Amino acid sequence: MKQSRMEIYLRYLVIILSVVAVVQSSLKSDWVSVASAGLTILFLLLPPLLEKLLKIKLPLSFRWIYLGFIFASMYLGETLSFFYRIMFWDVILHTASAMMLANIAFLLLYVLNRNSKIDRLLSPLCAAIFVFSAPVALGAVWELFEYAADLIFGVNMIKAIAPGDASRFYNYKLGFLNSLHDLLMDAIGALIIALAVYMHMKSGGRKLRLMAYLKDSFIDSNPNLFADKT
C-alpha cells in the first residue's frame, strides 16, 4: 500500500508541475508548451480512467513504468525541452516506448483469446511477428499525428524547425529524416521484445522469466478477463 500511495503522490506531483507549466507558458504565449503540459496531465489521468472504463486492473509495476515514461517524454522531453537539450533523449524514449507497447501487444495475445495459457497453443513465430508489428504500426500512426499537428497548429512535433531558428523555416527534409529515425528506433525496441517473446515461448516459459512475470502479474490481477480463470 505504501508503494501504491507513493505512486499516487508522484503522479499528482507531476500533474501539479504540469499545471504550473501551463500557467507560466500561457503568460508567455508559448502555446506549444501549453499543449505539451496539457497532454502530460491528460496522459497521467488515463490509467485510473481506463481501469474504471475497461474494468481492468493494472499491476503496480505497469503503473510505475507508465508514470516514468510519461514524466520523461512529455514533461521533461516536451515541456522542459529535453529533446533539444540532451542528445539521444529522443532515441532512448522512442526505443523505450516501442518496448512498452510491444509488451502490451504480448499481453493482448492473452486478452483477445481470453485464455491465460494461449502461449501453449500459438506459434512462437506468429506471436513474435504480432508483438513486433503492433508497436511499429502505432509508431507510424503517431508520426502521422505529429505531422498533422504541425500542419494544423503550427507546432514542431516532427522537429522540422531547427532549434534556435528565429525564422521558423519548416524544413520538410529535416522532418522526414526525423520521422524515419523515430520509426527505426521503434522497430529496434519492438524487435528486442519480439525476440524475447519468441525465446520465452519457444522454451515453454523456461527462459526470460521477466516475460512470465509481466504476463502472470497481469493475469493474476485480471482473472475476469480469462475464460479459463472464471
pLDDT of residue 2: 44
> How do the pLDDT tens digits run along the chain, 230 residues long?
445 788 888 889 999 999 999 999 899 887 777 888 888 899 899 888 888 888 888 888 888 889 999 999 888 987 888 888 888 898 899 999 999 999 999 998 888 888 888 777 889 999 999 999 999 999 999 999 989 988 887 778 888 888 777 788 889 999 999 999 999 999 999 999 999 999 988 887 777 778 888 888 888 888 888 876 65
Distance separating alpha carbons of residues 108 and 54, to the nearest angstrom: 14
User: From residue 101, how far is each of 29, 59, 86, 181, 221 by CA, in Å?
Assistant: 34, 16, 24, 18, 19
What pTM did the predictor assign?
Answer: 0.84
Non-local (6+) Cβ contacts of 105 within 8 A are: 130, 131, 134, 135
| pLDDT the model gives residue 135 | 96
Sequence-distant (6+) residues with CB within 8 A of 227 are 114, 115
Rg value, the chain, Cα: 19
The structural domains of the chain, with segments of one domain joined by +, span 1-86, 87-230
Cβ atoms of 193 and 108 closer than 8 Å: no
For residues 112 and 107, give the distance between their C-alpha atoms in angstroms, rounded to a whole number. Answer: 9
Cβ atoms of 170 and 160 within 8 Å: the answer is yes
Give CA separation, 51 vs 48, 98, 109, 123, 216, in Å.
5, 22, 19, 30, 18
Q: Determine the 3-state secondary structure of 91 from DSSP.
A: helix
How many CB atoms neighbour CB 14 within 10 A?
20
Please tell me the predicted confidence (pLDDT) of residue 62. Answer: 85
